[in-house]
Amino acid sequence: MQHTEKHSLIPWTLKVCAAVLSLFGIGIIPLSAQSVLSGTVVSASDGQPLVGAYVLVQGTNVGTSTDVDGTFRLDVSSGTILEVSQIGYVTRQVKASDGVKIALEEDQLWLDDVVVVGYGVQKKKLVTGSTVQVKGEDIAKLNTVDVLGALQSQSPGVNIVQNNGFLGSGFKVNIRGLGTIGDSAPLYVVDGVANGSISALNPSDIESIDVLKDAASAAIYGARAANGVILITTKKGKEGQASVTYDGYYGLQNLYKIPTLLSANEYMQIQDESRMMDGLAPYNWENYIGSRIYKAIKEEGWTGTNWLKEITNEDAPVQNHSVNVTGGSKTGTYSIGLAYTGQDATMGVP
């Protein structure tokens, strides 16, 4: 009996193909599966979808944001680390998988901040209007002598410009542009009382400043709030033993950049060059300014009078000192303060 052994040609064929591919520098590389994965981002407190949450591949700028249903779609490999973030929530890192549901915890340090609105106080997460808050400790760091000066560059959408260069000249404030009711100045409310001016307030006495920028403020204060409202809350006394606090600073002011002026001799040379370029003869300076002054400039090196230096006060002092006494009991609290503010001008007649 003849025994015939049959061998499969498939393994031999695969070996030949692999050898041919290697001759042409083509390797066989395993590919990881990459596909479009979808997921949902919700709030851990109530399970509601989060709109506009950012979903990024960790360490890259590849990502997307969630839609109105809190869902997202991203072309990544399964197991990729995703970084999910949303304003007011704690950022999380999760592994990507199709249908993943990501719950974000509320950032209590951010959401529990309290802002002042026209009818009381609310947590920041509950405020639907457009507001900006500047805290008292941030104002104290600026060491300004005026409350509105402390608001400059601290509140977006609020344009604050000093009226002129004179000390105590005040500021012009525009919230979201010019209004149509009266002038463009906003309404100032200090501790619930409408006030026409806040220039007498000491920055050290400020607890917080809240700026109401949208039309919702008009529903509370009427036409007076057509140009916005600036709510100022001052520091209050606290129950307990009396405490005395002092806050103050002393500094020196100088002009930021003083231009370099021409000397008398340089000025004469520039004037002569200008006339010669126009085809004119140079000045006869000895007759024009007198022989005595001409001799002092040309022979004695007199540079002339620097009038800018004459009206500039170098190291002009600025200072603010405040003493506050607070305390109280269950029946009432008190806060008594005394402040002194002084500022010398950097330019003026000495």
Residue 85's H or E segment, with its range, is strand 81-85
- pLDDT one-digit tens code per residue, 12-56: 444 444 444 444 444 443 444 567 888 999 988 888 888 888 898
State the pLDDT at residue 30.
Answer: 42
Q: Is the pLDDT of residue 268 over 90?
A: yes
Percent of the chain residues topping a pLDDT of 90: 13
- Please give the model's pTM, rounded to 2 decimal places: 0.52
67 DSSP assignment: -
Residue 218's H or E segment, with its range, is helix 218-221
State the pLDDT at residue 168.
Answer: 67
Q: Which domains does the chain have, with CATH numbers?
A: 34-108 (2.60.40.1120), 114-234 (2.170.130.10), 264-305 (no CATH)
State the pLDDT at residue 19.
Answer: 46
State the pLDDT at residue 217.
Answer: 61
131 DSSP assignment: E
State the pLDDT at residue 27.
Answer: 42
d(CA 336, CA 350): 37
Q: Which tops the pLDDT comparison, 293 or 199?
A: 293
Query: Beta-carbon neighbour count of residue 8 at 10 Å?
Result: 7
State the pLDDT at residue 121.
Answer: 47
Q: Determine the 3-state secondary structure of 25 from DSSP.
A: coil
